[in-house]
Structure 1
């Protein structure tokens, strides 16, 4: 499973593109990608969910694995383009109250610039 990482806003925001499924089979890989970004001292992270149509508890755990580290360093982890099914899971687990989410990738990335 490939998680593509790109950078925006002069390298101050990491964008991690999530595949169609974020489950136990690939959640550790996402954690590793997030760790690698944080180890580069980049604490502004956008998780691009535009292609994702399934997420399980291990995937949710991977999403929140470094929130406290990012926030402690003035950053955050934000979600872009969660589809209806993924958003329902976020609501059921109340992660929609913990993670900021945006309708598109550009809006999510630009939210770091304005705040």
Structure 2
């Protein structure tokens, strides 16, 4: 689980993208982002999330967003990112889904 805080915009998107790519490069395949501390997201940060989603998908992994605030959820819905990246009401729900998927895969 990775906790993300603050505004995700063109100033912070490169750091977000780099940090998430480091997780993928380190072998993480199931990433949950705790978005409870994020009050704003712009297109550059959406791009970073989509790039991470694709990187994880390409190696058989998944990206999950958890505890997304209503304003941010609205941006994800308007841009249809919520149709691609799974969104959960809480970190616990995202991690429970993660465990159920791992259990179904025998691991």
Same fold (TM over 0.5): yes
Query: 1 or 2, which has the higher helix percentage?
Result: 2
Partner deviation per Cα, 1:30-73 (whole Å, 9 max, x = no partner): 11111110111111111111011100000111111122221232
CA–CA separation in structure 2 for the residues paired with 1:66 and 1:21: 18
- What displacement does 1:19 show? 1.1
With CA pairs under 8 Å and 6+ residues apart, which has the higher RCO, 1 or 2?
2
Mapping for residues 1-115 of structure 1, pairs under 5 Å: 15-115=1-101
Structure 1, unmatched stretches of 5+, are 1-14
- RMSD between aligned residues: 1.0
Which consecutive unaligned segments of at least 5 residues does structure 2 have? 102-107
TM-score of the aligned structures, taking structure 2 as reference length: 0.89
Shift of 1:74: 2.1
